[in-house]
Amino acid sequence: MNSKAENVHPELIQISLDKVEGFAFERFAQDFWSALEGRDFVPVGGIGDGGADGLYKYAQDRVFYQFTRQENHRDKIRKTVKRLYDFDRTVKTLYYGSSRVIDHIDKEEDLLSEELSVFVKIRDRKYIASHINDSIGTIAAYNNHLSVYTQFLESVARSSDPSVSRHVQDPSVFVFLQHEVTNRLGNRKLVHSITDSVILWALSNTDPDKGIFMSEYQIGDKIYNQFPWALKLIKGHIRQRLEKLRTKNETGREVRWYKKEKKYCLPYKTRQIIKSENQMDESLRISFIDEMKLIASNLFDADEGEYQKVAEISSDVVHAIFQKQGLLFSHFLQSDEESDAPPVVSDCIDDAIIKVNVKREHTEQYREHIETIIRKVFYHGSPNQRKYLSNLSRTYVLLFTLQAEPRIIEYFSTMSASFKLFLGGDILVRALSERYLDKEHQVTRNLLKMASVSGISMLLSECVLEEVYSHICGTYYEFSNHFEAMEPYLTSEITRNSDKILIRSYFSARREKFVKSWGNFLGQFITYSNINKPEGREELKKYLLSEYGLSFVENGELESVSTKSDVELLVEAMLVNDDKKNKALAYNTALQVHGIYGLRSKNKEATTSMEYGLKTWWVTNQHRVLRHTREIIREKKAQYIMRPEYVLNFIAMSPNCEEVRTSFKNIFPSIFGIQLGHRLNDDTFHKIMSKVGEWKDYEPGRITALMSDLSDELKTDRLKRYSNGFKEDQL
């Protein structure tokens, strides 16, 4: 035996054999017995195996093997021998390999041998455990097929180690980060295509002849109730796409618009097109079920209703696998390589059987039949079966790219709970400016409040407070010197051109009659008479902390983790290049930069390997300081500014896991679930699949390191386009 092969602990083989599903056990057993018996052992197995999972090459078709995890070994052995005879095979010896413990093996062998006139030899779990370390081949059989069933023990044993995570054990987050980092231009075409799809779906029951119409609000409400993940994605696109769909083109109008009623419906031609598409996809779904019924009818004798029941349960299992481990499953289905199905298959079968209330005494038979059907579909599927599974794979990948995947949401949610985000002055000033906007358009305010609910620790540093306060004071003088005397005569065109966002916001609010005066507007944040007084600064601080759930960090804390000379060098660089108006503002910015790095060092963020990346950031759209900190970034090997769009798109506006799971349950069994995948282009699908293959080639430590780097790169990418973002405003 090769001393370099690490022996399998007896308890691990016991646990894995207890948890393994049928077809995975069969693959293990074939490799295991091949290693034990050598080249004379020929693996057969699969559907249509004629009862044999293996045979001896030079035994004139008389010595056969059957591998199974079925509970009733006597029944299985009897059926195996009968099936071998049905295939006109002469049976002299049958080796029966089981993942279970079988008591009194000698008596069972004698009983069955005498009854069947076949030499029966039983090899159960104890036999496998006693031979698992016999050779490199037997150990490899365990590592390749069974070790996955004991990985949960490693995560439990090492749960105190922050570098170990379930996100590393599944490709979903790794591939999503890869996709987002490389997909800088966003998914505008895909978003428009999906928006059109869900609009047509929402209008599917409308009919002008029957007086059935829907308003824009009703369309949106139906979509968001059924697909909560779509709220973030398409909310800002529905009106635009409705206008596009109601515009006449070469194929006519896809949607009809009734201007007086302000309602929509589908014209006859569109309804006929949708009906035709539905018929094709429904026919594919029915064929998928019917073909599984045919497989079932070849496995056992029953009436038509029983075959239908088993086929429908098998279909439910397929949908459940997509919900639980869709990315691995999609890769498995499209891969030409020999590989095992995702390890959740067994759990999905158990769950599906429980849901339909199968009688306890029939549970094991149902499990065996469903395993066999699914194995046939997965490994020897018909063209219809492959097409159906391919459509579902594309639907899953489409939802995956749009962040509608529980594992991805869990990743960003867990990450956000550890964040320590210093808010930039530009973010806070913009939040003040949105005071009188409709709730829907308060992008920055909504971001801050949703981020707080998400568990993010948001910090207001003393230096940023000073920046915001200075901005208010500067705006106060700007208004007094250039607008106050002329206010009654100023047009909206003139006021819109002010370079001060708070002045523009004030005039907009006054036009809408929300405020009567400039003093009334500023009084929402600070007593007007206290501007330019210490009391005013303190009022602003209390307002910001209270309104947005911020925590205050004094300059002394940042100074304690910064080097004074480094701060002064950055101050000088900004002043020389006129990027700051005075030394105080330059000092505040420089201290914020070096304070970020100092806190990371103090908390050992850079030396702790985690797939979430760094925790402490400055959230701002300010970028002038970046030209002076290139050398600092190279030295520290990390950026310090996080784009607020990152928090907005990946955390604040994400649906919760339960909403996504509910959507999955609604989408995958439906015809719409099949159709949705048509909207995903081939290039995106294959790129995602290739990244899964890349993930499979890496060790956990490498995956963790890559995820950390990808996560931080995504947080700082200034060139990436987002569906939801902020307008650049000069402060």
Cα separation, 35 vs 243, in Å, equals: 66
Cα separation, 583 vs 568, in Å, equals: 10
Task: Tell me the average pLDDT across 307-326.
Answer: 91
Rg (CA), the chain: 33
Q: Edge-to-edge, what's the strand order for the sheet holding 457-461?
A: 551-553, 457-461, 420-423, 616-619, 641-642
Q: Which of 585, 619, 652 is the last residue of a domain?
A: 652
Q: Is the pLDDT of residue 177 over 90?
A: yes
- pLDDT band for position 656 (cuts 50, 70, 90): confident
Residue 730 CB-half CA count within 13 A: 5
Cα separation, 404 vs 46, in Å, equals: 35
- Check: CB of residue 400 under 8 Å from CB of residue 176: yes
Look at residue 174 in the predicted model and tell me its pLDDT.
Answer: 94
- pLDDT band for position 50 (cuts 50, 70, 90): low
Judge if 600 and 641 occupy the same domain.
yes
- Check: CB of residue 676 under 8 Å from CB of residue 667: yes
498 CB-near residues (< 8 Å, 6+ apart): 478, 483, 504, 507
Q: Is the pLDDT of residue 54 over 90?
A: no
- pLDDT band for position 554 (cuts 50, 70, 90): very high
Residue 705 within any structural domain of the chain: no
Our measurement of the distance from residue 131's CA atom to the centroid of its chain's CA atoms, rounded to an integer in Å, reads: 41
Question: For residue 420, what is the enclosing H or E element?
Answer: strand 420-423
Measured from the Cβ of residue 259, the count of other Cβ atoms closer than 10 Å reads: 7
Look at residue 602 in the predicted model and tell me its pLDDT.
Answer: 92
Q: Could you tell me the CA-to-CA distances from 319 to 312, 676, 680 in Å, in that order?
A: 11, 15, 19
Judge if 128 and 254 occupy the same domain.
no
- pLDDT band for position 537 (cuts 50, 70, 90): very high
Q: Which of 139, 157, 175 is the last residue of a domain?
A: 157
Task: Tell me the average pLDDT across 687-710.
Answer: 92
Judge if 250 and 134 occupy the same domain.
no
Q: What are phi and psi of 386, to 5 degrees?
A: -65, -40
Look at residue 47 in the predicted model and tell me its pLDDT.
Answer: 46
Q: Angle, nearest 10°, between helix axes 406-418 and 172-182?
A: 80
Q: Which of 261, 334, 177, 275 is nearest to 704 (CA)?
A: 177
Look at residue 53 in the predicted model and tell me its pLDDT.
Answer: 72
Write the DSSP assignment of 106-162 as a string of letters.
HHHHHHHHHHHTSEEEEE-HHHHHHHTTSSHHHHHHHHHHTGGGGHHHHHHHTTT-T
Residue 428 within any structural domain of the chain: yes
pTM (whole model) above 0.85: no
Cα separation, 319 vs 437, in Å, equals: 44
Q: Which of 80, 83, 116 is nearest to 96 (CA)?
A: 80
Cα separation, 500 vs 150, in Å, equals: 61
Q: How many domains does the chain have?
A: 3
- Check: CB of residue 660 under 8 Å from CB of residue 379: no
- pLDDT band for position 505 (cuts 50, 70, 90): very high
Cα separation, 36 vs 137, in Å, equals: 8
- pLDDT band for position 56 (cuts 50, 70, 90): low
Measured from the Cβ of residue 96, the count of other Cβ atoms closer than 10 Å reads: 25
To which residue do tokens 């197995």 refer?
45
The answer to which of 140-154, 373-387, 534-548 has the lowest mean pLDDT is 140-154
Q: Which residue has the higher pLDDT, 8 or 635?
A: 635
Task: Tell me the average pLDDT across 107-116.
Answer: 90
Most confident of 33-47, 445-459, 702-716: 702-716
Q: Which residues of 350-388 are buried (b: 16+ CB within 10 A; e: fewer)?
A: eebbeeeebeeeeebbbbbbbbbbbbbbbeebeebbeeb
Question: CB burial class (10 A; 0-12, 13-18, 19+) of residue 566?
Answer: middle
Cα separation, 8 vs 131, in Å, equals: 10
Task: Tell me the average pLDDT across 660-669.
Answer: 76
Residue 311 within any structural domain of the chain: yes
Judge if 303 and 225 occupy the same domain.
yes
Judge if 414 and 400 occupy the same domain.
no
Torsion of CA 206, 211, 214, 215, to 10 degrees: 150
Task: Tell me the average pLDDT across 320-326.
Answer: 89
Look at residue 726 in the predicted model and tell me its pLDDT.
Answer: 66
Measured from the Cβ of residue 172, the count of other Cβ atoms closer than 10 Å reads: 21
Residue 5 within any structural domain of the chain: no
609 CB-near residues (< 8 Å, 6+ apart): 163, 701, 704, 705, 708
Q: Which of 412, 344, 339, 407 is nearest to 171 (CA)?
A: 407
Q: Is the pLDDT of residue 209 over 60?
A: yes
Give the tokens for residue 596: 């970020």
Write the DSSP assignment of 644-672 as a string of letters.
HHHHIIIIITPPPHHHHHHHHHHHTTSHH
* Percent of the chain clearing pLDDT 90 (strictly above): 38
Measured from the Cβ of residue 423, the count of other Cβ atoms closer than 10 Å reads: 24
Q: Is the pLDDT of residue 501 over 50?
A: yes
Q: Which of 130, 133, 145, 73 is nearest to 103 (CA)?
A: 73
Q: Which of 652, 678, 709 is the last residue of a domain?
A: 652
Q: What are the tens digits of pLDDT across the range 394-405?
A: 889 888 888 888
- pLDDT band for position 34 (cuts 50, 70, 90): confident
The answer to which of 36-45, 285-294, 372-381 has the lowest mean pLDDT is 36-45
Give the tokens for residue 348: 């999905």
Give the tokens for residue 262: 């302000």
- pLDDT band for position 672 (cuts 50, 70, 90): confident
**Max CA pair span of the chain:** 112
- pLDDT band for position 247 (cuts 50, 70, 90): confident
- Check: CB of residue 370 under 8 Å from CB of residue 349: yes
Q: Is the pLDDT of residue 639 over 60?
A: yes
Judge if 436 and 515 occupy the same domain.
yes
How does strand 457-461 pair with strand 41-43?
unpaired
Q: Is the pLDDT of residue 159 over 60?
A: no
Q: Which residue has the higher pLDDT, 520 or 664?
A: 520
Cα separation, 197 vs 206, in Å, equals: 15
- pLDDT band for position 253 (cuts 50, 70, 90): low
Residue 715 within any structural domain of the chain: no
Q: Is the pLDDT of residue 345 over 50?
A: yes
Judge if 107 and 30 occupy the same domain.
yes
3-state helix, strand, coil in the chain (%, to 5): 65, 5, 30
Judge if 233 and 151 occupy the same domain.
no
- pLDDT band for position 162 (cuts 50, 70, 90): very low
Look at residue 609 in the predicted model and tell me its pLDDT.
Answer: 59
Most confident of 108-117, 225-234, 243-252, 672-681: 108-117
Residue 554 within any structural domain of the chain: yes
Judge if 117 and 146 occupy the same domain.
yes
Most confident of 10-19, 225-234, 486-495, 505-514: 505-514
Cα separation, 615 vs 97, in Å, equals: 52
Per DSSP, 531 falls in state T
The answer to which of 100-109, 330-339, 554-563 has the lowest mean pLDDT is 330-339
Structural domain harbouring 57: 10-157
- pLDDT band for position 572 (cuts 50, 70, 90): very high
Question: Average pLDDT over the chain, rounded to whole?
Answer: 85
Q: What are the tens digits of pLDDT across the range 353-372?
A: 888 877 777 888 888 899 99
Q: Is the pLDDT of residue 60 over 60?
A: no
- Check: CB of residue 57 under 8 Å from CB of residue 42: yes
Q: Is the pLDDT of residue 719 over 60?
A: yes
Q: What are the tens digits of pLDDT across the range 258-292?
A: 888 899 999 888 888 888 888 888 888 899 999 99
Cα separation, 455 vs 446, in Å, equals: 14
Residue 708 within any structural domain of the chain: no
Q: Is the pLDDT of residue 2 over 80?
A: no
Cα separation, 501 vs 662, in Å, equals: 42
Q: Could you tell me the CA-to-CA distances from 143 to 5, 30, 110, 478 in Å, in that order?
A: 11, 14, 34, 72
Judge if 245 and 383 occupy the same domain.
yes
Cα separation, 444 vs 306, in Å, equals: 57
Cα separation, 422 vs 415, in Å, equals: 16
Task: Tell me the average pLDDT across 668-688.
Answer: 79
Measured from the Cβ of residue 289, the count of other Cβ atoms closer than 10 Å reads: 16
Name residue 201's amino acid: W
The answer to which of 155-159, 512-516, 541-545 has the lowest mean pLDDT is 155-159
Give the tokens for residue 120: 């029966």
Residue 659 within any structural domain of the chain: no
Name residue 180's amino acid: E
Judge if 672 and 693 occupy the same domain.
yes
Cα separation, 536 vs 554, in Å, equals: 17
Judge if 264 and 121 occupy the same domain.
no
Cα separation, 327 vs 179, in Å, equals: 13
